[in-house]
């Protein structure tokens, strides 16, 4: 029977209108439910990350105040980062195969114990034994943080609403450091100034208990994206780890885009992070008095943090409309980042440094979130932790390399002179990697034809 009009009096017309409204209502309800599930798991991640950072923030301050504290702090932070990356790589297969809610509960319980125990450091007199205990606590916290974030990264990616782009999801997942960079120094600095350093781990432990309590309400969300626990492959744990690493490396090598993203990740860590870490040494080129150098360092850090926040907001906005992560955007952001630093290096002006640090922070977010979105888009959920652990192992191991190169090179040649050479080399490597990616992609297309 023909339908005269949707607004007419025929039964068929009313049926079509009611059916359309029903489908629209179901879509809205489904979308709200998906967003609610995502936020139920994503928001507690901020509390967990912030609470662990509060504990390490206090340990940083305490270790720096010990005899030869700056050197000790550098060693502790470096060792903790290396151990954390290696442990995640070793446990990646376990984290992929185990129920995510149970893994999260186990990590949170261990974190509560370690963070609460770290308070002993602030209540005891400084000695070698206490310094060793503080080092163990610091390393344990970093290991637990890395494993927790590895589980939450893949869980958040699986719970993200279907209509969200990978770029938007990656931006939200990677937004915790931007919030920590403002919240933790503000809270931690206020407590230290008030002489209440010992309250930092206590506050961290309380926040972790709050996160653990939220699992009573979000356990079903974890269960919805968790598979039944797989039995460990035969042959022992070490053989399983070796097999997982080989399979992950083979997976990455088959995709030229992932290889290129790996190169970009390494180049980011030999440009932006070393420059920011060694900023106090770079600022010495302006020949300012010590108080003025401290002020400039603080302002440059604030500008960098503002850039990170603005970049995050921009990428969330871009992610609403993007349908597929753009590889060229990540490469272009890194190239512009190098150019901005070259411009900064060409002008002997603190104002230029402050303005350009905002750009460096924003470009870093654009580059890192775009690469993160591509990894999320290309890697299946059931092997994500294993593949991402290999990615972290390759990328984060480049941070000490970049810091060492810029530190030794700046000391030998002067930071302005060495930075110019360093950035030009990075741009050349980026161009070569892009050409190789394009050639390999064309070969793959010809092979498929």
Residue 232 forms part of a structural domain: no
CATH code: domain of residue 378 = 1.20.1250.20
Top-confidence range, 68-72, 102-106, 121-125, 353-357: 353-357
In the predicted model, is pLDDT for residue 21 greater than 50?
A: no
Query: What share of the chain has pLDDT > 70, as a percent?
Result: 82
Q: Number of structural domains, the chain?
A: 2
61 and 23 within one domain: yes
Q: In this predicted structure, what is the pLDDT of residue 22?
A: 45
213 and 270 both lie in a single domain: no
Does 448 map to a domain? no
- The answer on pLDDT for 34 being more than 90 is no
| Domain co-membership, 268 together with 336 | yes
Task: Using the predicted structure, report yes or no on whether residue 425 has a pLDDT greater than 90.
Answer: yes
Residue 376 lies in a domain: yes
What's the pLDDT at 243? 80
**292 and 216 in one domain?**
no
Do 217 and 249 have their domain in common?
no
Higher pLDDT, residue 54 or 384: 54
CB contact set of 31 (below 8 Å; sequence gap of 6+)? 161, 163
CATH classification of the domain holding 69: 1.20.1250
Residue carrying structure tokens 């990978």? 166
Is the whole-model pTM more than 0.75? no
- Do 251 and 360 sit in the same domain of this protein? yes
Same domain, 152 and 216: yes
Task: Read off the pLDDT of residues 285-305 as tens digits, 9 standing for 90 and up.
Answer: 888 887 777 778 778 878 887
Does the pLDDT of residue 80 top 80, yes or no?
yes
Residue 432 has pLDDT above 90, yes or no: yes
Write down the pLDDT at residue 115. Answer: 93
Domain-located, residue 288: yes
Give yes or no: residues 134 and 39 share one domain: yes
Does any domain span residue 230? no
User: CB of 396 within 8 A of CB of 269?
Assistant: yes
> Same domain, yes or no, for 261 and 121?
no
Question: Does residue 4 form part of some domain?
Answer: no
Does residue 139 sit in the same domain as residue 42?
Answer: yes
Confidence of residue 110 (pLDDT cuts 50, 70, 90): very high
Q: Which residue range(s) make up the domain with 380?
A: 237-442
CA distances from 54 to 59, 187, 189 (A): 9, 8, 10
The predicted structure's pLDDT at residue 173: 77
> Is pLDDT at 430 greater than 90 in this prediction?
yes
**Taking 90 as the threshold, does the pLDDT of residue 234 lie above it?**
no
| Residues in CB range of 112: below 8 A, 6 or more apart | 205, 208, 209, 212
pLDDT digits (tens, 9 = 90+) for 314-339: 887 776 665 565 888 899 999 999 99
pLDDT exceeds cutoff 90 at 279: no
251-279: average pLDDT: 85
pLDDT in tens, 346-390: 888 889 999 999 999 899 989 988 888 888 888 887 777 778 778
Residue 422 and residue 374 in one domain: yes
User: What is the mean pLDDT of the segment spanning 132-154?
Assistant: 88
Residue 49's closest CA among 241, 223, 178, 186?
178
- Does position 231 have pLDDT exceeding 60, yes or no? no
User: Residues 193-199: what's their mean pLDDT?
Assistant: 84
If asked whether residues 202 and 276 sit together in one domain, one would say: no
Instruction: Assess whether pLDDT exceeds 60 at residue 18.
Output: no
Query: How far is the C-alpha of 248 from the C-alpha of 207, rounded, in Å?
Result: 35
């Amino acid at each position: 029977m023909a339908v005269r009009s949707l607004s007419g009096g025929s039964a068929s017309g009313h049926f079509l209108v009611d059916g359309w409204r029903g489908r629209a209502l179901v879509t809205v309800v489904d979308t709200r439910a998906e967003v609610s599930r995502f936020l139920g798991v994503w928001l507690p991640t901020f509390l967990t990350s912030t609470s662990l950072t509060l504990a390490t923030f206090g340990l940083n301050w305490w270790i720096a105040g010990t005899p030869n504290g700056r050197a000790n702090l550098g060693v502790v932070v470096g060792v903790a980062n290396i151990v954390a990356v290696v442990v995640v790589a070793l446990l990646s297969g376990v984290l992929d195969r185990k129920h995510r809610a149970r893994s999260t509960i186990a990590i949170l319980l261990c974190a509560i114990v370690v963070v609460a125990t770290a308070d002993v450091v602030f209540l005891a007199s400084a000695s070698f034994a206490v310094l060793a205990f503080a080092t163990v606590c610091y390393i344990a916290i970093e290991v637990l943080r890395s494993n927790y974030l590895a589980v939450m990264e893949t869980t958040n990616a699986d719970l993200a609403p279907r209509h969200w782009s990978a770029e938007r999801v990656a931006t939200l997942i990677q937004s915790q450091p931007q919030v920590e960079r403002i919240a933790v120094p503000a809270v931690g600095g206020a407590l230290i100034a008030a002489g209440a350093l010992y309250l930092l781990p206590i506050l961290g432990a309380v926040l972790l208990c709050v996160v653990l309590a939220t699992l009573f309400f979000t356990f079903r969300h974890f269960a919805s994206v968790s598979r039944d626990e797989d039995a460990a492959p035969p042959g022992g744990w070490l053989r399983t780890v070796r097999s997982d690493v080989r399979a992950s490396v083979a997976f990455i090598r088959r995709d030229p885009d992932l290889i290129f993203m790996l190169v970009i990740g390494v180049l980011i860590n030999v440009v932006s992070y070393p420059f920011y870490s060694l900023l106090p040494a770079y600022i010495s080129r302006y020949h300012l008095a010590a108080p003025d150098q401290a002020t400039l360092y603080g302002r440059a850090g604030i500008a960098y943090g503002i850039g990170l926040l603005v970049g995050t907001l921009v990428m969330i906005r871009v992610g609403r409309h993007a349908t597929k992560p753009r590889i060229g955007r990540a490469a272009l952001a890194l190239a512009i980042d190098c150019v901005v630093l070259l411009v900064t290096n060409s002008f002997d002006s603190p104002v230029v440094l402050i303005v350009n640090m905002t750009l460096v922070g924003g470009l870093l977010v654009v580059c890192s979130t775009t690469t993160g979105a591509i990894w999320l888009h290309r890697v299946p959920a059931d092997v994500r932790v294993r593949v991402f652990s290999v990615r972290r192992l390759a990328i984060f191991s480049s941070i000490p390399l970049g810091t060492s190169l810029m530190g030794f090179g700046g000391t030998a040649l002067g930071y302005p002179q060495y930075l110019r050479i360093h950035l030009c080399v990075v741009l050349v490597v980026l161009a070569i990697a892009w050409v190789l990616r394009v050639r390999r992609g064309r070969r793959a297309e010809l092979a498929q034809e």
